[in-house]
Structure 1
Amino acid sequence: MTGAVIAIAIVLIVIGGITASVVAYFRLQRHRADAVAMAEYRRLAEEAVANQGVLQGQVAELNDRVKSVESLLRSVD
């Protein structure tokens, strides 16, 4: 009887270890996938910031052009 209990305990410990290893492996894989996705989001955010700087420059240029057109129209009156 004691031998059977020990055998069952050893089998349960081995199965528990294998289960823990498999869970840890898939958790690691999920973490790696999340890291790749976050790197892509970071790249997209940096690209958006760069594009925003370009757009701000264009808006400032258009603002200057509109001001010059307004001053031209006021001088015609």
Structure 2
Amino acid sequence: MIGAVIAISIVLIVIGGLSLSLVSYFRLQRHRADAVAMAHYRKLAEEAVANQAMLRGELAELAARLGAVEKLLRSVE
């Protein structure tokens, strides 16, 4: 009877270890996939910031041109 309890305990420990290993492996794979997605989002955010800075520069240039046109129109009147 004691031998059966020891055998069952050993089997349960081995199965528990395998289960824990599988869960850890798939959690690691999910974490890696999340890291790749985050790197992609970070790159997208950096591109968005660069585009926004470029657009602000163009907007400032257009505002300057508009100011020059308004000054010209006022001088004509």
Q: TM-score, normalised by structure 2?
A: 0.97
Q: Which amino acid aligns with 1:60?
A: A
Q: Which amino acid aligns with 1:52?
A: Q
Q: 1: CA distance between counterparts of 2:23 and 2:35?
A: 18
Shift in Å, 1:8 = 0.4
2:54 alignment counterpart: 54
2:12 alignment counterpart: 12
2:66 alignment counterpart: 66
For structure 1, the 5+ residue unaligned runs are: none
Q: 1: CA distance between counterparts of 2:66 and 2:74?
A: 12
SS for the counterpart of 1:33 is: helix
Aligned residues: 77
SS for the counterpart of 1:49 is: helix
Q: Structure 1 segments of 4 or more deviating over 2 A?
A: none
Q: 2: CA distance between counterparts of 1:9 and 1:53?
A: 65
Q: 1: CA distance between counterparts of 2:63 and 2:55?
A: 12
Shift in Å, 1:53 = 1.1
Shift in Å, 1:22 = 0.1
Identity %: 73
Q: TM-score, normalised by structure 1?
A: 0.97
Q: Which amino acid aligns with 2:40?
A: E
Shift in Å, 1:76 = 1.2
The alignment's C-alpha RMSD in Å is 0.5
Q: 2: CA distance between counterparts of 1:23 and 1:65?
A: 62
